[in-house]
Structure 1
Amino acid sequence: VRQAMLAGGWRWRAMHSQPDVSEVVELSTARGGEVKLGKLRQLVNLPPFDEMFGIARKKMLACIDVELRKAHKKKKSELNALDFANVHKLSLLAFSSSISIPLGEVLKQNENLLKGLHDFERVAAELIFEDSRRNNGQELDNATAGITELRKQIVFDLKDASSKISKLKNKDEIMLVHNTALQKSKVLLAQHNNDIKLIRNYVKRFRSLPFIDLSVPLFVLVGAPNVGKSSIVKAVSTGEPEVADYIFTTRKILLGHIYDTTYGGWQCQVMDTPGVLSRNDEDRNVMEKMTIAAMENLPSNIIFVTDLSETSGSKSKLELQLALRQDLRGKFPNRRWLDVISKGDLLEIDPSEFGIENAVVVSCITGDGLEKLRVLLKEQSGAGGGAEEERVNV
């Protein structure tokens, strides 16, 4: 069966593109252990149920073709009932394996999902669980139980059909049992479509987390909603976040890169994060918690973006932005910190009037200040860019 499946081109992993293992970076922790960053991006995902059935059917037909060629080569005549039964029995086993193996891989990875994760990925995964429960009432454990039952039932039914076929001597009866078993499998897959869709959605969200290279300086842009963080990331880096004039436009962590090939080369990572409100941690939504998780669990420099133009909406009034800035500076007293004032083309106030000294004023409309910001990022990266460095006012 294995040879027949290989002859038919059975390559489950190749069909579902996996991230390059080189994306996994090992980080030495304070405890002397090693934590892998990028594990969630390596998760195997399932295809839709109808595509899964089609893949398995294709492997089954390839198996039949190989076995028929072997049988005809030996007999050089029409197959007798015994050979005919053996061919179709093996084809059902190939079909069963084509479904049970990937389902088993997903079940195994779900069982060990949170083990060995970098702290940032572990918190991010827990927040994704929380968000799904809150918005959809969907639990990964329930879907996993459904997939477990699906796998057991398909394996049992196809094994039972194979056993029945081995006892039959009439070709029409063999084909009836064979086709009935296939149809039953298709119905089972359709019945568990919601479980498959839920797991696909979880894996898609896990794999959408950005790959962060811990050997490259990281700058995390934080601030209230709609203050212009995404516009700045888009203007100074390779990142392509969504930019719109409504609150909480950014709904996930996004990453851009800045490259400078002169003077021996230099690069840094710039992270766009969902907006944060000035309130207690227990009152924050999942998007805000994701931003705080990035700040707490990644060795990063903080770029706090403030909009003094009062055009960011009621939830981002200036007094609320200043309160948030004070809260975060108190929460991360030893982190490298850079103040950036956005929407400089609308600015009519000196930032120092609000206690924000030596801030970089930028405008993504006119381009003013963006090159200065890039230069400062380069200088601050060259200074080390560690997670727990002395506070620096640039």
Structure 2
Amino acid sequence: MALSRKIPYIPNETEIIDRSFKRASKKANLQYNSGTRMSIIESDMITTVTSSISKILSSIMQSYPNLDEMPEFYQKLIDLTVGIDRLKISLDRVSMANKTIKKLSKEYMKDLKKRRDSREMVRKEFYGRTVSIINGLSNDLYFLNDARKKINDLPAIDLNEPIIIVTGYPNVGKSTIVNMISTGRPNIASYPFTTKEIIAGHFYHGRDKYQVIDVPGILDRADSQRNNMERLAFLAIEQINSIILFVLDLTETCGYSVQEQLNLLNEIKKNFERPMIVVANKTDIKKVDSDIVDIFISAKTGENIPELMDKILLLAKNDQKNKKG
């Protein structure tokens, strides 16, 4: 699984500098008290700072997954969430800073060996240039730490297991349905765009695991006018080979007309060849007949939820058989 390993905390520039310099000072104090020559102490301080900073910067680079080797879905998901090009640029800058400091360290170590005096001045000059390089990473380190929080929050979806995507207009009851049929726990509120991210849950039928994905609501409008939440939803539908549960609110209490919802349904049918169940929710408010609906339910009262599960399982099993050929 591409995101199975969490990205650890990314230290800021002050933490990197303080940690590395304190380590060097601690070692120098021990050496000084044991009678070590000052030339060796100054040399070891440069080596210790270089080693410590290099270890931290290398750890930052290694903590991120190899973006180019990730499944296309996750590459695009990260791009929409944090910006994959910006992420690569910041990681490249960390890598370049690491190489530059190592190179400087070698140069100053050579200079230190040539000096019989002013060794402290050489070491302080190295310190100054190192601090300048690390401070230059301030924005990148902040960005990387913020990005790792968002990446760590992305859903862990096994693309090899059966998946059901629940989609439709905002406020039609998608999240309540996900709550009813899976372990997914999206936020639920009576206003549009409550779901702001892709949320994954699952349920078992016997030994078989089925993943249920709640995506942000989508409006019937030009793609250029859609926000990032809507693009996340379309990304999931496009990239994940799944069954689609399209939820309609025929009562229009969601704030959108039936025609607008049908336009979106037709757009998804036209652009994506996916097995689909069309669900009319909110029968507890009003039952509205429609010949395009596969099942009428109330996620609020639980009406026809068992029957919906039967339809999901039947369609999922047929879909799995078709994929296996």
- Give the alignment's TM-score, normalised by structure 1: 0.68
Please state whether the residue corresponding to 2:179 is helix, strand or coil: helix
Report Cα offsets for 1:271-322 as digits up to 9, x if no partner.
Answer: 0111111123344333222222222222200000111232223xx3222112
Going from structure 1 to structure 2, the CA distance change for 1:57 and 1:342 (only over 3 Å counts) comes to: farther
Tell me, yes or no, if the aligned pair for 2:165 and 2:245 is still in contact at 8 Å. Answer: yes
Please state whether the residue corresponding to 1:256 is helix, strand or coil: strand
Q: Could you tell me which amino acid in structure 1 is paired with residue 307 of structure 2?
A: K
Q: Distance in 1 between matches of 2:322 and 2:260?
A: 26
Q: Distance in 2 between matches of 1:370 and 1:62?
A: 65
User: Aligned pair 1:53/2:32, yes or no?
Assistant: no
Per the alignment, residue 215 of structure 1 pairs with 160
Q: Which of 331, 343, 349 is equivalent to 2:287?
A: 349
Report Cα offsets for 1:45-77 as digits up to 9, x if no partner.
Answer: 743333433554566568669x95xx99xxxx6
Report Cα offsets for 1:335-388 as digits up to 9, x if no partner.
Answer: 211122223322x133xx333333141223x33333333333333333344787
Deviation at 1:169, TM superposition (A): 5.8
Q: Distance in 2 between matches of 1:196 and 1:387?
A: 47
Q: Could you tell me which amino acid in structure 1 is paired with residue 50 of structure 2?
A: L
Deviation at 1:43, TM superposition (A): 6.7
Deviation at 1:177, TM superposition (A): 5.1
For 1:14-33, list aligned pairs within 5 A.
Answer: 24=1
Per the alignment, residue 94 of structure 2 pairs with 147
Unaligned segments of structure 2, at least 5 residues: none
Per the alignment, residue 227 of structure 1 pairs with 172
Unaligned segments of structure 1, at least 5 residues: 1-23, 25-37, 390-394
Q: Could you tell me which amino acid in structure 2 is paired with residue 47 of structure 1?
A: P
Tell me, yes or no, if the aligned pair for 1:127 and 1:290 is still in contact at 8 Å. Answer: yes
Q: Could you tell me which amino acid in structure 2 is paired with residue 193 of structure 1?
A: S
Tell me, yes or no, if the aligned pair for 2:216 and 2:230 is still in contact at 8 Å. Answer: yes
Q: Which of 176, 182, 192 is equivalent to 2:137?
A: 192
Q: How many residues are aligned here?
A: 325
Per the alignment, residue 339 of structure 1 pairs with 278
Per the alignment, residue 320 of structure 1 pairs with 260
Please state whether the residue corresponding to 1:295 is helix, strand or coil: helix
Please state whether the residue corresponding to 1:199 is helix, strand or coil: helix
Tell me, yes or no, if the aligned pair for 2:279 and 2:294 is still in contact at 8 Å. Answer: no
Q: Distance in 1 between matches of 2:113 and 2:208?
A: 67
- Give the alignment's TM-score, normalised by structure 2: 0.80
Deviation at 1:40, TM superposition (A): 9.1
Deviation at 1:146, TM superposition (A): 4.3
User: Aligned pair 1:124/2:63, yes or no?
Assistant: no
Deviation at 1:203, TM superposition (A): 4.1
Tell me, yes or no, if the aligned pair for 2:16 and 2:53 is still in contact at 8 Å. Answer: no
Please state whether the residue corresponding to 1:250 is helix, strand or coil: coil
Q: Distance in 2 between matches of 1:387 and 1:356?
A: 24
